[in-house]
Each structure stands twice: as C-alpha cells, then as structure tokens.
Structure 1
C-alpha cells in the first residue's frame, strides 16, 4: 500500500486521518464565518483564525493557501447552498405565476444568505474590494444569479406575463437591489427587518420584469 494511502487510513481513537482533517477544515470554516462576520476580514489574521479554530498554522495551510481562499470558500459554500435551496423551492412550482415564483426565490435566497448576520456581513460587506481574485469569484456568482433572473423573465414572457425584451439590465437592477438592501440590513440590524428587505426586492423584481 502506498505510504500516502496508509497515512490516510491510519486511525487515532477510532477516527481516520482523513476524518480528522475534514473536522479541522470545518473548524476553520466556522472560525472564518465567526471572525470575518464580526471583527471583519482585515482584522482577522491567520493566527486569530487558528486560535479560534483550535488548530495550528500548519493545519491552516494544509487546507487553504491564504485567508482569501478561506473567504472565497465560505462565500461559495453559502451561494451553493442558496442555489440548491432556491431550485428545490421552485421544483414543484412550475405552474406558479411570476410574482409567486419571484417571492419564493427571493425569500429563499435572502433567508439563506442573510438570516445569519455574520454571513450577511461576509457576503455583502467583507467580500467587497479584497483583491482581484476575490472579486472575480464574487462576480462569477453574481453572473450565475443574473442568468437565473433572466431565465425567470424569459419564462414569464412565454407565459404571457411579460413583454419580450432584453432582460439583461432589469436582471442586473434586481441583483443590485439585493446587494444594496442586504448590505443596508447588515449594517442597520435592528432598524430594518429581513422581511422588509425581501418585500422590497420582490417589488423591484416583479416591476423590472413586467414593466412595459
């Protein structure tokens, strides 16, 4: 058996090396959410992250090349979870009207991305302006949601709920409203509710698709 495979299969206290490594990774992800989402990305050094996670810096670099990679991983995990949740919510709503599908999509997405204030801050505050690499990943996810919104608008046209037109700018306007309103919510928690944010985004989205 190759040495690397033997090491991976070695157990300590009934747990394999792979299991222990996966647990350390989860602890680092939890530490990233806790610190990036409260103290902020700039104030959260690798040493602080490791102390919070209870791992060594060597363990950190076994999982992530940098703090940027940890930030990107957290953002990607949140978006992937939201993507699955939105599509699952719409799975049995093929015949639902545009307004119902948009309300369900927006509510599912925003609850997944912003119900935890730490995640809202990470996704809509701390991800901004970190580096070209982080921005590229953020924009890739924005493009994916943008395409989803255009797809919903095109569906509304086929159902006779909207007039055919180029929905590129309307979809971008909806994405921008989500970003700005959730950012506003994350820095004004207690003065605005998530339900208010969701209701406003739904109004913007329906108007953007159905406007003449």
Structure 2
C-alpha cells in the first residue's frame, strides 16, 4: 500500500484545503449578504452557513468586511473582463457605436445582476459600511470611468464619436448606473434586465455621440 504524500489529506494538500474553506466562506457571504444584507450576517452566521468554525474563519479573514470586499472585487473583476472582451470583439467586427455600447452594457449588466445576490452585494450591501470600504468602492467606480473613457477615446479615433474630454459626463453616467441598479435591486416588481441595458445605453450613447453645442 502506497502512503499519501506528506502534507496531503484525502488526496488534497493543505493549500488546497484552505482554498476550499475560503471558497466556502465566500459562498456563504454571497448567500447571506446577497439575500439578507451585510448587517444581518454576523461572523457566526457566516461560519454556520459555511459549515466551518470561527477558528477556521480567522485563519482566512481578519473580519467579515474582508469577505464583503473580496466578493465585491470578484464581481467587478469578472464584469471588467466580460466588458473588455465584449467591446474588443465588437471593435474587431467593426460594430457601430450604438451596437458596441449596447453589447458592452449587456455584458456588464449580465455579469453583475443576472444573479440578484451579486447585484445586492455590488450595488447595495457594499454602500456605507465603513469609511475604508466606501473609499475602496469609490476607487473601483473610478476604474469604470477610466475604462469607459478609453472606449470613448478609441471610438473617437475611429470617427464614431466627437473628440473631447468625456470624463465629467462619464462620471455622471457611472453615478446614474449605480443609482439605477441600486433602485432596481430594491424594487418589486423588477424591470427586465434588457430594459436596464436599454435605459443605460440611451444615456451613454446620447452623452458620447451628441455634438458639442
């Protein structure tokens, strides 16, 4: 009979087991924060939902704020990747600016809001938790402004929109996006996500395409 390698248990290394535990805590956070809100989900409830101990929790996280931030960053990272890939594909096939913007916004809304728990974390639960988390949230929002401005600048070079500094209007659009999805999360009945995409597309197309007066 061959002995298992040192440091392995049930065929998994200690690193693999810790990674699995971390994912279980994150899955518990997604469910609790995304359905009941951040304030309602204590560390003890996170541990119970994950089926793990508080000792194991503190081996992975300093506090439950870290769980919220990791979920928030994961959602934003996945949305950024989806939007970047979608916009690149639209640019490569020579899509018009209307199609490019709608495709990019659909990728964003689908990634962040198809699962209501993700939308609740990204647009509701993360708001106003603490100064540190609010600072982080605003920094992540600023990255979206940078990305949209880069897309607009590339469109301007292709002659699809006027050449100008779009940072102020894109910042306003970014705020409108967060407010719209925040309100959508808390409303019943909820409008179809296609309606959210279309409302945002009209705002952004109008902002980028409208000529200077």
Fold similarity call, TM over 0.5: yes
| Cα distance change of structure 1 residues 62 and 205 upon mapping to structure 2, 3 Å threshold | same
| Cα distance change of structure 1 residues 9 and 188 upon mapping to structure 2, 3 Å threshold | farther
Unaligned runs of 5+ in 2: none
> Residues 55-108 of structure 1, C-alpha deviation per residue, up to 9 Å, x if partnerless?
111111111111111100000011111111112222332222211111111000
Picking from 67, 76, 80, the partner of 1:79 is: 76
| Cα distance change of structure 1 residues 9 and 120 upon mapping to structure 2, 3 Å threshold | farther
Structure-1 residue corresponding to 2:189: 190
Structure-2 residue corresponding to 1:155: 154
Aligned residue for 1:195, secondary structure, equals helix
2:88 equivalent to 1:91: yes
Aligned residue for 1:169, secondary structure, equals helix
- Structure 2: distance between partners of 1:52 and 1:92: 40
- Aligned-residue RMSD, C-alpha: 1.5
Mapping of 1:89-128 within 5 angstroms?
89-94=86-91, 95-128=94-127
More displaced stretch, 17-26 vs 154-163:
154-163
1:189 Cα deviation from its structure 2 partner: 4.4
Stretches of 4+ moved more than 3 A in 1?
A: none
- Structure 2: distance between partners of 1:198 and 1:27: 32
- Structure 1: distance between partners of 2:6 and 2:135: 37
Mapping of 1:46-85 within 5 angstroms?
46-85=43-82
Aligned residue for 1:91, secondary structure, equals helix
> Residues 16-49 of structure 1, C-alpha deviation per residue, up to 9 Å, x if partnerless?
2111111110000000010001111011000000
TM-score, scaled relative to structure 1: 0.92
Alignment size in residue pairs: 205
Mapping of 1:28-43 within 5 angstroms?
28-43=25-40
| Cα distance change of structure 1 residues 9 and 63 upon mapping to structure 2, 3 Å threshold | farther
TM-score, scaled relative to structure 2: 0.91
- Structure 1: distance between partners of 2:210 and 2:89: 27
More displaced stretch, 120-129 vs 182-191:
182-191
